[in-house]
Amino acid sequence: MILDSLNNSGLYEAIHPRFKKAFDFLKNTDLKSLEAGKIELEGADLVVNIVDITAKAVSEARMETHNKFIDIQVPVGQPETMGWIAGDKLKNISEAYNPEKDITFFDDKASNFVLVQPYEFAIFFPEDGHQPGIGSGTYRKIIIKILR
């Protein structure tokens, strides 16, 4: 997992060949004005999801992992708390892997929590269990899915 400001995204662009394109989109787009939906930047290999979410209590937020995709998550409207745990610590599967949605859900809870401010980002790799959407209220969020 990586947590940082979009101002520092250049530090991470060499990690993956699609990161620069993803960060360029995040930095050069008026994220608040986007309509909810999906934008394909490189077909299914690099997809921007624009979602309006209703935050949940930590007890209701679900722990998840992905096998094929890396997430870059950016809250836009307000801060969001996101939980994290090393994927190899996850033991209690609540929903088996869904290959269509590339997601597994767990009953396990995070070992660490971070408060991600608007226009900061959290990167979750397939090795990262993450429990997003913790907070209160409804807000805009950008989730970029990058094929590993």
CB half-sphere exposure, 29, CA atoms < 13 A: 18
Here the CATH number for the domain that contains residue 62 is 2.60.120.370
Average of per-residue pLDDT across 24-41: 97
Q: CB-based contacts of 85: which residues, under 8 Å, 6+ apart?
A: 63, 108, 109, 110, 111, 112, 128, 129, 131
Counting the structural domains of the chain, the total is 1
User: What amino acid is encoded at 57 in this protein?
Assistant: A
Smallest CA-to-CA distance from 146 within 55, 13, 36, 52 is with 13
Q: pLDDT class for 104, splitting at 50, 70, 90?
A: very high
Q: 122 and 73 in contact (C-beta within 8 Å)?
A: yes
Containing structural domain, residue 64: 2-147
pLDDT score of 118 more than 90: yes
pLDDT confidence of residue 147? 98
Q: Chain centroid to CA 9: how far?
A: 15
Q: What is the pTM assigned to this prediction?
A: 0.96
Q: 16 and 9 in contact (C-beta within 8 Å)?
A: no
pLDDT confidence of residue 114? 98
- Dihedral sign computed on CA atoms, order 7, 13, 18, 19: negative
Q: pLDDT class for 124, splitting at 50, 70, 90?
A: very high
Instruction: State the DSSP code for 61.
Output: S
pLDDT score of 77 more than 90: no
